[in-house]
């Protein structure tokens, strides 16, 4: 007879005598299904007092579903673009590398927004949470405006700087111009969803992203191939569909905030609050630098990969999209841990915050380790779904397998990094990223690829080793506990 402890009660679970596998009773299944539905609906829960396992589930389930939808979009997008040839996939890969800088800025503001909102909610200061949300959106609009003007004007030159061939520039410059020029949709989408997560409204953030990406997935092939009355825009059609989908999602976010449907409302906080803005700038500045370090390392890796031709770059792009497919749901668990840390530190419960982090990390190991095993076992079949070109497959298959080998380590690294951020300790992961990605990963990738002679496999190897190194360093620093003393 096995005994399993739950959050609220202990229940007996009979073991199947033949194989020793626990049998789950109908009542247990019903309870799990109810918990899942509660999380998706966004049922009200006090994350500073409810059982930790239930709190993590209520936050992580919608966050993981949200990120899963983002993963589906990322894979669906490259699936259709791959039908246009290696140059089209290379265009998307190079543009995504440029957009990582935009994502870095957006995620930096998101880190600051989530930390401030979560801390204010934990302190029971809903007005303060609303003020933080408004300042974050104002900062997001300013960032997007600057990037949009520069990126829209110099799209072709930026592609050339990234090592694009003349054919890629000719085919893809309009795609790049639309994606960079319309970056406000992705910046606001990131930042406002971070506000929802910090407040504990993970289900709202999930619905927002599902709406935007569902529109994107439907419109993508229609604009790419010119279905019905729509024009055939090729790779440019993917950019048009993306901006329409994300723009619709942002409109839904703003409507939700204006109507006060979540834990915070913006009806009384409109306008500049200098003190809150300065706090946000401090957190977001170091947060943006932290993310940009990691993102810029991807740009460097793509630049190294581009020296091996369009086939290698296409294989790298497909493999990385599949890796993102796995990592994005894991970000859901990481963000759940960050929200738990922020709210519980605000409620003066640091030990509860730490317990939530380790529990979230364990769940992430189970999830990401399973996905990594599948990727390693079925890499040829998975890559073949996205490209039938043998020259692309010869790079994508080993790349997917190599990076998947570091998933178990990175599962911990992701959760711990976000937990530092949730506590407002944004400089610790910034320094870790600087050391691991710039001072180690990029030189290591160059040496393995160009000097040792491993070629593209050297780039993937450097990526996997860096993931693992980041996780080990993060665990050692997290155990010191200084993040518990951070005030925001």
How far lies 93's CA from each of 99, 103, 120, 311, 391, in Å?
10, 14, 39, 12, 17
Question: How confident is the model at residue 173, as a pLDDT?
Answer: 86
Q: Is residue 37 part of a domain?
A: no
Tokens of 52: 């930790």
Predicted confidence at residue 6, as pLDDT, reads: 41
Q: Which domain holds residue 87?
A: 50-485
- Distance (Å, whole) CA 402 – CA 406: 8
Does 8 reside within a domain? Answer: no
Query: 156 in a domain, yes or no?
Result: yes
* Residue 389: predicted pLDDT: 87
| 28 within domain boundaries | no
- Contact present, 287 and 431 (Cβ < 8 Å): no
Task: Give the CA distances from residue 50 to residues 35, 57, 58, 339, in Å, rounded to whole numbers and listed in that order.
Answer: 13, 11, 10, 14
Question: Does the residue 334 lie in any domain?
Answer: yes
Q: Is the pTM of this model over 0.75?
A: yes
Domain presence at residue 26: no
Q: What is the pLDDT of residue 243?
A: 92
Asked if residue 1 is part of any domain, the answer here is no
Residue 3 lies in a domain: no
Least confident of 18-27, 93-102, 163-172, 334-343: 18-27
pLDDT attached to residue 14: 39
In angstroms, the CA 470 to CA 259 distance is 41
pLDDT tens sequence across 195-238:
999 999 989 999 998 999 899 889 989 999 998 888 899 888 98
* Spatial distance between the Cα atoms of 317 and 85, rounded to a whole number of angstroms: 13
Mean pLDDT of 317-328: 82
Going by pLDDT thresholds of 50, 70 and 90, the confidence category of residue 21 is very low
What stretches of 407-455 show up as alpha helix (H) in DSSP?
Answer: 407-422, 427-433, 442-446
**Per-residue pLDDT tens over the stretch 253-281:** 999 988 887 888 776 667 888 888 999 99
Instruction: Tell me which residue has tokens 């809903």.
Output: 126
What pLDDT, on the 0 to 100 scale, is given for residue 28? 65
Number of domains within the chain: 1
């Amino acid at each position: 007879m096995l005994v399993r402890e739950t959050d609220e009660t202990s229940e007996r679970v009979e073991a199947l005598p033949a194989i020793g596998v626990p049998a789950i009773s109908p009542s247990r299944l019903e309870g799990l299904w109810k918990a899942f539905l509660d999380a998706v609906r966004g049922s009200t829960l006090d994350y500073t007092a409810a059982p930790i396992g239930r709190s993590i589930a209520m936050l992580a389930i919608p966050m993981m579903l949200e990120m899963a939808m983002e993963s589906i979009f990322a894979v669906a997008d490259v699936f259709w673009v791959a039908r246009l040839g290696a140059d089209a996939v290379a265009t998307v890969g190079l543009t995504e590398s440029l957009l990582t800088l935009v994502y870095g800025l957006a995620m930096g503001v998101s880190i600051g927004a989530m930390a401030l909102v979560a801390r204010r909610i934990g302190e029971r200061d809903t007005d303060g949470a609303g003020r933080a949300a408004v300042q974050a959106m104002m900062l997001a609009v300013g960032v997007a405006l600057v990037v949009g003007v520069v990126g829209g004007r110099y799209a072709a030159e930026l592609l050339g700087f990234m090592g694009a061939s003349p054919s890629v520039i000719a085919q893809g410059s309009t795609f790049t111009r639309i994606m960079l020029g319309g970056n406000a949709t992705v910046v606001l989408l990131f930042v406002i969803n971070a506000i929802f997560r910090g407040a504990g409204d993970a289900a709202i953030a999930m619905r927002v992203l599902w709406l935007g990406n569902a529109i994107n997935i439907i419109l993508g092939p229609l604009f790419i191939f010119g279905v019905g009355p729509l024009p055939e825009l090729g790779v440019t059609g993917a950019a048009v569909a993306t901006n329409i989908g994300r723009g619709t999602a942002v409109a839904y976010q703003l409507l939700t905030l204006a109507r006060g449907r979540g834990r915070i409302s913006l009806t009384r906080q409109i306008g500049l609050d200098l003190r809150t803005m300065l706090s946000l700038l401090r957190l977001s500045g170091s947060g943006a630098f932290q993310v940009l370090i990691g993102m810029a390392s991807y740009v460097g890796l793509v630049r190294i990969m581009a020296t091996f031709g369009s086939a290698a770059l296409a294989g790298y792009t497909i493999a990385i999209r599949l890796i993102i497919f796995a990592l994005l749901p894991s970000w859901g668990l990481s963000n759940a841990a960050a929200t738990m840390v922020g709210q519980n530190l605000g409620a003066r419960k640091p030990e509860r915050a730490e317990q939530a982090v380790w529990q979230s990390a364990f769940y992430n190991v189970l999830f990401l380790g399973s996905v990594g095993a599948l990727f390693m076992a079925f890499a040829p079949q998975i890559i073949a779904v996205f490209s039938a070109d043998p020259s692309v497959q010869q790079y994508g298959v080993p790349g997917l397998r190599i990076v998947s080998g570091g998933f178990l380590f990175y599962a911990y690294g992701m959760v711990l990094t976000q937990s530092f951020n949730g506590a407002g300790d944004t400089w610790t992961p910034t320094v870790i990223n600087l050391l691991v990605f710039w001072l180690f990963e990029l030189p290591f990738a160059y040496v393995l690829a160009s000097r040792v002679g491993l070629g593209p496999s050297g780039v993937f190897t450097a990526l996997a080793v860096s993931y693992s190194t980041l996780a080990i360093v993060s665990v050692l620093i997290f155990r010191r506990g200084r993040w518990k003393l951070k005030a925001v």
